[in-house]
Amino acid sequence: MKHRYFTFYFPAFIVILFLFSSCGSKRDIVYFQNADKISEELLSLSQKDFKTVIMPHDNLFITVAAANLQSVEVFNSTQFNRTANYSASTLDILGYLVDQKGNINFPLVGEIRVAGLTKSEATQLLRKEISTFVTDPVVNIRFLNYKISVIGEVNRPGVYTVTDEKISIPQAIALAGDLTIYGDRRNVQLIRMENNKKQILTFDLTTSDVFLSPDYYLLQNDILYIAPNSTKAGSSTYNQNLPLIVSLISVTITAIALFVRNR
């Protein structure tokens, strides 16, 4: 009798073990574990130095205003109307593209280097140059290409425009609808082009270390890639055949059960 029970239940036990062997533990899923142990002082110190700098290939939307509006017409696109609503593609055309050397060609001012400057620094530089032609000009600069990409194991992969020009890694993931259950929270990669060199940084979202990283805030054109976890990676090799395997095991168990019952 014991032999019959063993013959019947052992294959079933193997199937159950097979189906649940890939389940992840809680510590592989929960974000920012032990974050409560980071002091507010340490957190503020690690993130206070963040600043967005202008880089080659950035597209800048620059407007100039002054008490005498006619005096600044030359600095503003004739196609630009302050009261109109423009699409992103239209604004791209109206922007100043930073060339490979880090320069833009601004009316009357000529070629001026802005790469490596913060938006505030570039604003002050342009204001100084324009003051030669206009009294008390007001300069405003916005990034037209402040976009980040989130790809891999997220619910809504895509390219996202960041209107406030500041976004953290958790915020970017939230924009993409969070990681899927198959996303490897220990292997989130930040791909960044800087000085014509590609950098790849890896973050573990199950720890609180991401809050202390100098790269906690993303730069324009950064790419976040969420790698698949071992469950998803492993399933890619057998997932297509899994229904067939389960069916064969089920048929085998049924055949064994009938054989044992009729003995």
pTM for the whole structure: 0.71
The residue from 109, 125, 143 where one domain ends is 143
Shared-domain flag, residues 138 and 32: no
Long-range contacts of 31-38 (CB under 8 A, 24+ apart): 31/170, 31/185, 31/205, 31/206, 32/205, 32/206, 32/207, 32/208, 32/210, 32/211, 33/206, 33/207, 33/208, 34/207, 34/208, 35/208, 35/211, 37/208, 38/208, 38/211, 38/212
Is 131 in the same domain as 170?
A: no
Do 45 and 113 have their domain in common? Answer: no
Specify the CATH number for the domain of residue 88: 3.30.1950.10
Which of residues 189 and 92 earns the better pLDDT score? 189
> In this structure, are 63 and 107 located in the same domain?
yes
CATH number at residue 34: 3.10.560.10
Residue-level pLDDT at 21: 47
Query: What pLDDT score was predicted for residue 47?
Result: 63
Residue 238 lies in a domain: no
Structural domain that includes position 16? 2-22+244-261
- Please choose, from the candidates 131, 129, 127, 115, the residue with its C-alpha nearest in 3D space to the C-alpha of residue 63: 127
Final residue of a structural domain among 143, 168, 184: 143
- The residue among 50 and 58 whose pLDDT is bigger is 58
Instruction: Tell me, yes or no, whether 114 lies in a domain.
Output: yes
What pLDDT, on the 0 to 100 scale, is given for residue 230? 81
Q: Is the pLDDT of residue 16 over 60?
A: no
Q: Rounded to a whole number, what is the largest CA-CA distance in the chain?
A: 105
Shared domain for 139 and 153, answered yes or no, is: no
Decide if 214 is inside a domain: yes
| Closest to 91 in 3D by CA, of 159, 149, 143 | 143
Closest C-alpha to 60, from 117, 135, 17, 20? 117
State how far the Cα of 261 lies from the Cα of 263, in Å rounded to an integer. 6
Count of the separate structural domains present in the chain: 3
Distances 165 to 44, 71, 96 between C-alpha atoms, Å: 19, 30, 17
